[in-house]
Structure 1
Amino acid sequence: MTEFVATTPGLFPLPDWAKDELSDLKGHQKEDLVSGNEGPEITAVIDRARTAVVEDQQNAGLDRTVEGQLRWDDMLAHPLAVHENVETHGIVRYYDNNNFYRDPVVTGDLTFSGDVAKELEATAEQADNLQAVLPGPYSLCDLATNEYYEDDAAFLDAVADFLAGEVEAFPETETLYLLEPSLVTNAPGDGVDEHASEAIDAVASATDAEVVVHTHYGALTEKVHAHLLDADIDAVGYDFIANHEENLYNINEYGTKSAISLGLLNGQNTLVETPEKINERVDWVLDNTPAASFDTVYMTPNTELFYLPVNKYQEKLAALGEATALRAEVTTA
């Protein structure tokens, strides 16, 4: 019997009250928030905000709880942006939208940080169905500038080793979502596609959790998809909002893992899908992949949710939780 799991790719919008409190702190600058060395006043606000987003997920009835990544002002670049051997330079557009991040320039060895593990440890005190969220190694390289490692291949290996070391320090988690939008937006070419899969495999091997490589902003090319399936991961995530036909083609033509992550809610649009609409989209995928048999179907927004106003993000979580609850009712009826 297929298990349907409601979850998200994380990166939630910072609650409005937390934005106000942070802006009111004397001398507060963005650099204070993302430095990794926040003072006690800033830490206290973030701790309360983390509790709020954990409660949002619990109230919505989600099956996995993420930390929310409320400190990640540099979005997926955050794990490098706070590293001691990385300098943050000019502002760069975050993929093809109106969000921006500071260019992380790697100037030394990517040694162990532990920054994300601390966030997860705090979350583990409030939730027992923990899901970790990290950028995948290929996307993190794509978002960064290398001024230290010999070449692109060595840089990708170093980033994969760095992420694997971070994952090894995580508390026990049920799932790890590796977010890899760059596999779509800046698809690796011949040779690099296989190397990217090997780098993902290296990170996935560092945990006993179920590992989902969630891609978005479109569909993978055929070769990138085929190489990704060679990685020892549990599921690939497909963005069925941005490109449902090509994602469906990849699954039917090349197969996929025994679990699958379906991007079903639009993480960049304030229109809130109904639970019925979400389930219609699940059924459409399952009905149109007749050769596939899934042990687990992760139901999720297609992208991170920091694009949304807080009230819309909360409404989307509620719709997602209700959608999986409805599926459970039908299954047990």
Structure 2
Amino acid sequence: MTELVATTTGLFPLPDRAKTTLSDRKGHQKDDLISGDEGDDIVAAYDRVRTDLLDRQREAGLDRLVEGQARWDDMLAHPLCVHDSVETRGIVRYYDNNNFYREPVVRGDLTFDGDLAADLERAAEHVGSDALQAVVPGPYSLSDLATDEHYGDEGDFLDAVADFLAEEVDAFPDLETVLLLEPSLVEHAPGDGRDAHASEAIDRVAGATDADVVVHTFYGSLEEKVHAHLLDADVEAIGYDLVTDHDQNLYNVNEYGTKGDVALGLVDGQNTLVESPDLIRERAEWFAENTPGGSFDRTYVLPNTETFYLPVNRFEEKLDALGAAVAEEEVTA
């Protein structure tokens, strides 16, 4: 029987108790969030938020804990928005919703930064490495969210972003899982040639760590060729958004196969309706029952999207439901 692992996609909503301290630093106003430029009071505030978020996930019974990404005001664009070689300009729409981020314009070499590793080091000090999961934008999505005014070629820019992320991942502390979030593979699908290149870029980032790497796609389903090429990347699992498009995602798996592990977006990260543990398990069982062989070595159970869209109370209830779904499955197995 498959091992169920309860986890999340990260990018949590900011806890209510932290908003007073950090509200004036949110969104495009936070122009001093270059790594190391935050004042001691802000660093301490984010440390408290990180600790609270880690403790709340542990309380919910999640198997993999993320540091919460409370500093990521620009969502998946964050690693570029805080880089010295990047200029942030006006706000632009974040995919097809009512959230916005500062446009990161790359104007110099994307050298090693260490911003992501620093947050993970702090998280590891609190919870150890055994349950820690990193959340990282995939190279295709990060390049898609950015504007290049330095490398001059679309392919070269994707390679530069992949190399940058690989260096960042290589600096991570020991941890269990690296979750690469790749919504742009669905929202702005790469065409012929670029689909294989995107897979190669993901493979390059995955090769920088000994941790298990999960590539999670969402906001719909992958085009068939994009899915087929993604399977060439040397990763442990591909993630599928079953909330938005369960039929096409199931078709892709049945038609082209998938990895030995799988990640399933079973909880709606953008809707306040809280799924019951029973419903979460039923959705996981439906996928297994309709997949040839019906068994994966490991199934990651998580929200379909990032969760910063949610009110804090609903977000926490969804954490509890995820933890309970896996805990009850283990009891009845």
Same fold (TM > 0.5): yes
Structure-2 separation of matches of 1:305 and 1:191: 32
Counterpart of 1:277 in structure 2 is 279
1:284 partner letter: W
The equivalences for 1:180-259 within 5 A come to 180-259=182-261
Pairwise CA distance, 1:82: 0.3
1:36: how far off? 4.8
CA–CA distance in structure 1, aligned partners of residues 161 and 51 of structure 2? 30
**Aligned-partner Cα distance in 1 for 2:62–2:34:** 28
**CA offsets, 1:145-171, max 9 Å, x none?**
000003000000000000000000000
2:2 alignment counterpart: 2
SS of 2:18's equivalent?
helix
Cα distance in structure 1, aligned partners of 2:36 and 2:269: 27
**Equivalent residue number for residue 155 of structure 1:** 157
- CA apart distance, 1:176: 0.3
Is 1:294 matched up with 2:296? yes
Tell me how far apart the structure 1 counterparts of residues 187 and 61 of structure 2 sit (CA, whole Å): 32
- In structure 2, give the amino acid aligned to 1:280: E
SS at 2:31 equivalent: helix
Q: Please, which runs of 5 or more residues in structure 2 have no aligned partner?
A: none
Deviates more, 1:2-11 or 1:34-43: 34-43
Aligned to 2:142: 140
Task: Measure, in 1, the Cα distance between the counterparts of 2:78 and 2:111.
Answer: 15
Equivalents in 1 of 2:35, 2:17: separation in Å?
A: 21
Identical amino acids, percent of aligned pairs: 67
- 1:23 Cα deviation after fit: 3.7
Asked if residue 327 in structure 1 is aligned to residue 304 in structure 2, the reply is: no
Residue identity matched to 1:88: T
Q: Hey, which bits of structure 1, 4+ residues long, moved more than 3 A?
A: 32-36
Q: Is the 8 A contact 2:24 2:30 kept in 1?
A: no
Partner of 1:262: 264
The equivalent residue for 1:50 is: 50
What is the correspondence of 1:75-154 to structure 2 with a 5 Å cutoff?
75-128=75-128, 129-154=131-156
Q: Aligned-pair distance for 1:22?
A: 2.1
For residue 72 of structure 1, give the secondary structure of its aligned residue in structure 2.
Answer: coil
Alignment-mate amino acid for residue 105 of structure 1: V
C-alpha distance in 2, partners of 1:80/1:181? 17
- What is the rounded CA distance, in whole Å, between the counterparts of 2:81 and 2:24 in structure 1? 24
Please report how far the alpha carbon of residue 24 of structure 1 lies from its aligned counterpart in structure 2 after TM superposition: 7.0
- TM-score (ref. length: structure 2): 0.97
| Partners of 1:66 and 1:237 in 2: CA distance | 17
Opposite residue 120 of structure 1, the aligned amino acid is L
Aligned alpha-carbon RMSD (Å) = 1.3
- Measured after TM superposition, the shift of residue 268 of structure 1 is 0.1
1:74 maps to 2:106? no
User: CA deviation digits over 1:246-278, x for unaligned, max 9?
Assistant: 000000000000000000000000000000010
- Quick one: structure 1 residues 46 and 152, their matched pair in 2 at CA, closer, same or farther if it must change by over 3 Å? same
Between the aligned partners of 1:284 and 1:141, the Cα distance in structure 2 is 35
Aligned to 1:18: 18
Cα distance in 2 for partners of 1:327, 1:118 equals 35
> What is the TM-score normalised by the length of structure 1?
0.97
2: CA distance between counterparts of 1:36 and 1:252?
A: 47
Q: Shift in Å at residue 3 of structure 1?
A: 0.8
Is 319-328 or 1-10 further displaced after alignment?
1-10
Report the alpha carbon displacement of residue 291 of structure 1 after superposing the two structures with TM: 3.2
Query: Per-residue deviation at 1:223?
Result: 0.2
Change (3 A) 1:217 1:20: same
Structure 1 segments unaligned to the other structure (5+ residues) = none
Deviation at 1:31, TM superposition (A): 1.9
- Which secondary structure state, in structure 2, belongs to the residue aligned with residue 32 of structure 1? coil
Question: Shift of the alpha carbon at 1:30?
Answer: 2.0
